[in-house]
Copies of this chain bind each other. A is one copy, B any other.
Amino acid sequence: MAYKTEDLWQVFETVRERGVRVHCLTNSVAQNFTANVMLACNIVPSMTSSHDEIPIFTAGVDGLLINLGTLDGKRRHGIRLALDVAVERSIPVVLDPVKVDRSSIRLEFAQDILKQNISILKANSAELDSLKLCVGAQTLVARTGVEDFVLGKDEAWLVRNGHPFMDKVTAVGCALGGVLAGFAAVEPDKELAVLAGLAIYGVCGELAAANANGPGSFAPAFIDSIYGLNADQFGQHVKLDIIKNKSGELAG
């Protein structure tokens, strides 16, 4: 299906109007920035990783983010508790397998939970190389990088937005996982939800960089851009391309 700019924008509008809740099991480095990016989208985050509380909180949210940064045994167990509830409730689950290529423990854990119903796998190229044999048909893959690549049902897509400052601020990538979970919570077509999230994120990165003196001032400007983005700005900046060859072999 060929999505239009208006389709992508509508997903964001729906998130803004409706307001959704996402529980985030994410690393301690990323928690604060992730929460602020999500709030700017009108996605309300909760972040407890207490085993007592995970089932209670996961029972009340519209989506779940699982991020494998700074992972220990306690959090691995907490992730399983949350997944059980999320799968039973059929809410979207986003997996961000941070640095899975550098830690065999994370790799084994990610491979194992991919057998469950992970809706969306957001990973960079190195992480995805480690995992791609484990990704089932139920999981939509979004590969992030200078250009973001999404392998959809009938087409593959490139989102050509973004800015290098996005790699110079910690947690920008992690926060995207929370945004995708919120977008997928309002849009049952995961492919559309993910493309909308990636495109809005990339466009806001460009707009923020234009107002920044470096990665320090980029971070608050990025949150401002997400909060203030309007349909015209989005339409002018979004660069979404269809890749004919769905196999994922990309030129360039």
| A positions within 8 Å CB-CB of B | 27-33, 35-36, 39-40, 45-53, 56-57, 60, 69-73, 99, 102-106, 168-171, 212-217, 219-228
Q: In the assembly, what is the distance between CA of A215 and CA of B219, in Å?
A: 11
Chain B neighbourhood of A226, CB < 8 A: 214
CB distance from A76 to the nearest CB of B (A): 9
Answer whether A36 and B219 are a contact pair too, CB < 8 Å, given A71-B50, A72-B51.
yes
With the chains together, A218 CA to B171 CA distance in Å?
A: 19
A53-B105 contact given A170-B35, A216-B36, A216-B40, CB 8 Å threshold:
yes
Residue of B nearest to A38 (CB): B170
Q: Cα distance A216–B33 when bound, in Å?
A: 10
Nearest-neighbour CB distance to chain B for A42, whole angstroms, equals 9
- The distance in angstroms between the C-alpha atoms of A38 and B69, with both chains bound, is 17
> In chain B, what residue has the closest Cβ to A31?
B29
Query: Judging by beta carbons under 8 Å apart, are B99 and A46 in contact?
Result: yes
A47 to B39, CA, bound (A): 25
Q: Is B228 within 8 A of A223, CB to CB?
A: no
User: What are 16 A-B residue pairs whose CB atoms fall within 8 Å in the complex?
Assistant: A27-B47, A28-B47, A32-B171, A35-B170, A39-B168, A40-B215, A45-B170, A46-B102, A48-B103, A50-B73, A51-B72, A53-B103, A213-B221, A214-B224, A214-B227, A220-B220
Cα–Cα, bound, A36→B46 (Å):
22
* Closest chain B residue to A168, Cβ basis: B39
A39 contacts B215, C-beta separation under 8 Å:
yes
Instruction: State how many angstroms separate the Cβ of A60 from the closest Cβ of chain B.
Output: 7
Task: Choose from B56, B212, B215, B221 the contact partner of A36 (Cβ within 8 Å).
Answer: B215
B52 near A105 (CB under 8 angstroms)?
yes
In the bound assembly, the distance between CA atoms of A204 and B132 in angstroms comes to 43
Chain B residue numbers with a CB within 8 Å of A106 are 53
Determine how close the nearest CB of chain B comes to the CB of A80; give it in whole angstroms.
16
Indicate if the CB atoms of A224 and B215 lie closer than 8 Å. Answer: yes
Q: How far is the CB of A154 from chain B (nearest CB, A)?
A: 37
A103 touches B56 (CB 8 A): yes
Minimum C-beta distance from A147 to chain B (A): 21
In angstroms, how far is the closest chain B Cβ from the Cβ of A231?
Answer: 17
